[in-house]
């Protein structure tokens, strides 16, 4: 969530909120100003896009669909694999089509963010995962092993 231009806006927070903001910033290695800007941007995106939420993940803050464990980029993997047939994706996920459309809307608006996550996923393989998680064991189904 980077921007090329910025605007300085001053705000007052209750002392307790300021302390919580500083703790969050420290946890992520951000400045309190960066944390404030990220939280405001996330709040704006939540208000502009239905079903969007933000969560910490192993790769940083990501857009997720509310009430699910799926990041927007993961839903877009399904959308691409089902050749953009949103009704079929919704059926696959057992979701209303509106939730899938919400992911598509967000992905279109923030395409560089989503494309970066998709590219990172594409570049990953079991060897990469094994370096991060030495205990990982590759599971291949009998059906996949025959091909």
Instruction: Tell me how far apart the alpha carbons of residues 40 and 125 are, in angstroms, rounded to a whole number.
Output: 35
Tell me what pLDDT residue 90 has. 98
What tens digit of pLDDT does each residue of 25-80 get?
999 999 999 999 999 999 999 999 999 999 998 888 999 999 999 999 999 999 99
Helix (H, G, I), strand (E, B) or coil at 52: strand
Instruction: Tell me how far apart the alpha carbons of residues 91 and 116 are, in angstroms, rounded to a whole number.
Output: 27
Residue 147 has pLDDT above 60, yes or no: no
Residue 4 has pLDDT above 90, yes or no: no
Note the pTM of the prediction, 2 decimals.
0.81
Tokens of 6: 């910025």
CA dihedral 139, 127, 72, 112 (to 10 degrees): -160
Tokens of 64: 């997720």
What tens digit of pLDDT does each residue of 96-145 get?
999 999 999 999 999 999 999 999 888 888 888 788 788 888 888 776 55
């Amino acid at each position: 969530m980077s921007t090329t231009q910025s605007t300085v806006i001053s705000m007052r927070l209750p002392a307790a909120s300021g302390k919580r903001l500083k703790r969050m910033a420290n946890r992520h290695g951000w400045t309190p100003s960066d944390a404030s800007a990220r939280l405001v941007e996330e709040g704006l995106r939540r208000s502009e896009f239905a079903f969007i939420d933000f969560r910490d993940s192993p790769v940083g803050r990501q857009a997720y669909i509310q009430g699910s464990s799926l990041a927007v980029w993961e839903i877009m993997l399904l959308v691409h694999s089902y050749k953009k047939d949103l009704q079929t994706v919704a059926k696959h996920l057992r979701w209303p089509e509106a939730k899938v459309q919400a992911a598509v809307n967000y992905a279109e608006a923030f395409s560089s963010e989503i494309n970066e996550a998709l590219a990172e996923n594409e570049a990953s393989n079991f060897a990469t995962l094994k370096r991060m998680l030495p205990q990982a064991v590759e599971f291949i189904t009998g059906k996949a092993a025959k091909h």
